[in-house]
Chain A
Amino acid sequence: MIKKINFIVSGFFLLWLIIAAIPPNQNNGIKASIQRGEKVYNKVCLPCHMADGGGVPNMNPPLIQTSYVLGNKTTLISIVLHGMTDRVAIDGDYYSNNMAPHNDLTDQQIADVLTFIRNSFGNKASAVIPSEVKAIRQKN
């Protein structure tokens, strides 16, 4: 009996710990960020990366499950801030267009659009927050 109560109490305690660990509204925060990010995407990125995130073969790369979109946030943020004209293989394929720098977007807009692409087109990855963008913008 005592064991059972102990179990229940520690269960509640664990739950409380978990809830306390999440900053308030984090889930809502991500949702809102994705929604704002979609607007930025449609206006700024969609002309090249297309409505389905599938890009244009040989020209503009897809944003579907690519190592850049799902990978290192620093690289991803720099691509949006500084553009990309490296002509490196992106998951085995080359693309022949130039992506211009988008440093006219705010830290918030860049965080939002990256959070959006990391959680759309079949992607699932952690959110990008404005302070991360800010840190990389200041470095250069």
Chain B
Amino acid sequence: MKNFILMLSIVVLSSAMVQAHTTSFKDSTKTKNNPIIPDQDNAGLILPKGFGALKVTDAYGKPRHIAVTPEGYIYVKLARLYNGNGIYLLKDNNGDGRVDEGMGFGDYIGTGLALKNGYLYASSDENVYRYKLNNQHEVITPNKPEEIVYGLLNRREHESKSITLDNDGNLYVNIGAYSNSCQVQDRVPESPGMKPCPILDSAGGIWQFKVDQLHQTYGNGVHYASGLRNVVGLDWNTQTNTLFVMQHGRDQLHDNWPNLYTVQQSAELPAECMYEIHKGDNAGWPYIYYDQFQHKKILAPEYGGDGKKTAGEDAINPVIAFPGHLAPDGLLFYTGNMFPEKYKHGAFIAFHGSWNRAPLPQEGYYVVFVPFKNGKPSGEWEVFANGFAGKAPITSARNAHRPCGLAQGPDGSIYVTGDNKGAIYRIIYTGK
């Protein structure tokens, strides 16, 4: 009898243990599907009501553009090598939303990064590469990328080559102009503009290449758009089936033309412009800039302008004109389902932040949202995520987090990189 009781209790106990084991196992799977909890302080960000943020990592150097796979794995391109690597694949292994593991590859620095149809695309400041992915969206041969494009101009001013892809097998690459306003002497007071501007042959525009052809360069590509001084943020809008770009407007109207512009005017002019681009478009740089107060294309002082004369009749108009010098570095059209209806198909723009607005306080250092309907802005732009540079007024760029890259996660959350102090944020909608 005693023996029987012992046996029974062993059976009961061990079955309880098995039970306990399965429950704890179940629990851990459940956490994987549990909502991600934002950081207590929302990672220092100021967000609209109902949104929260977490710092996903701050351990991988200076992340520029970013993409997220259907599994929630993150790829980032770095501005500086980190442990000898220019790209990282980052994984969260326990489902808490924070990065636990990083795999580095790619021994080149750069900005551009995109995921499409089983490939990862990444750019150096001269070339574009692609990497085949396995069915988990992991790169198969990290040390053997295919070179899609090579030999793009890098004169170390506006050198980053941002990329995006359409749905018809084309790759779009920005080649920034190595100049402020195509002066004979760059940024020298009253130095005139070169006419015609020789830079426009091989830079200051967007080039289109095929995604699946190796070793293309200028001769193989299509000069898709010109007259764009420097574009860092760009995205393919799947609603309109067109390319949208954010141009960095020119600097130093007062420094270089003190008789024509006050410091105040120079701090606010010209606009940072969003353009919708069709093949063959010209946005007018360096001959004109867009004045967001007069709502006009104004002849640049390097080409005889005085702040009032208009020009650029053949140049396209911006879709939206933002305040000057905010430095848009990331553009993302939101197609997710996590955020409230108003955000659907709208544009998020990561502004790196200004250096060029003294004597006014510096501006930017935030992520902006613009609602869109039928491919057109349907309301005013608003600051969506702020606080990257701490409290206003901002006088230092060195000590700020500077938003750069944007990506949408499979759940509809959005990711923002900060490339200065180095951080990746994830913004989620909690409704609370």
A98 touches B358 (CB 8 A): no
The answer to whether the Cβ of B185 comes within 8 Å of any Cβ in the partner chain is: yes
Number of interface residues of B (CB under 8 A): 23
B188 touches A54 (CB 8 A): no
Q: Report chain B residues within 8 Å CB of A120.
A: none
Q: Which of B38-46, B49-57, B154-162 contacts A (4 or more CB under 8 A)?
A: B154-162
Minimum CB–CB distance from B325 to chain A (whole Å) comes to: 10
A30-48: CB near B (< 8 Å → 1, else 0) gives: 0000000000000010111
Chain A, 78-111, CB within 8 A of any chain B CB: 83, 85, 87, 94, 96-101, 104
B252 touches A50 (CB 8 A): no
Contact (A47, B398) CB under 8 Å given A87-B156, A96-B159: no
B157 touches A50 (CB 8 A): no
B188 touches A100 (CB 8 A): yes
Smallest CB gap from B185: residue in A? A100
Q: Report chain A residues within 8 Å CB of B158.
A: 96
Interface residues of chain A: helix, strand, loop or mixed (majority): loop
Interface residue ranges, B against A (CB under 8 Å): 79, 156-159, 180, 185-189, 252, 255, 355-356, 358, 395-399, 402, 420
A-B CB proximity, top 5 nearest? A54-B398, A56-B355, A100-B188, A52-B396, A51-B395
Q: Report chain A residues within 8 Å CB of B252.
A: 47
B396 touches A54 (CB 8 A): yes
The answer to whether the Cβ of A135 comes within 8 Å of any Cβ in the partner chain is: no
B355 touches which of A48, A62, A104 (Cβ 8 Å): A48
Interface size class of A (residues with CB under 8 A): 20 to 34
Contact (A100, B395) CB under 8 Å given A46-B358, A56-B355: no
The answer to whether the Cβ of A57 comes within 8 Å of any Cβ in the partner chain is: yes
Q: Report chain B residues within 8 Å CB of A50.
A: 355, 358, 395-398
Minimum CB–CB distance from B147 to chain A (whole Å) comes to: 24
Minimum CB–CB distance from A76 to chain B (whole Å) comes to: 20
A100 touches B186 (CB 8 A): yes
Provide the bound-state CA to CA distance between A104 and B199, in Å.
27
A56 touches B255 (CB 8 A): no
Q: Report chain A residues within 8 Å CB of B398.
A: 50, 52, 54-57, 62
A98 touches B396 (CB 8 A): no
B156 touches A51 (CB 8 A): no
The answer to whether the Cβ of A65 comes within 8 Å of any Cβ in the partner chain is: no
Residue in A44, A51, A55, A104 with the greatest tally of chain B CB atoms within 10 Å: A51
B397 touches which of A57, A96, A101, A104 (Cβ 8 Å): A57
A47 touches B399 (CB 8 A): no
Q: Report chain A residues within 8 Å CB of B255.
A: 44, 47
Smallest CB gap from A85: residue in B? B186
The answer to whether the Cβ of A15 comes within 8 Å of any Cβ in the partner chain is: no
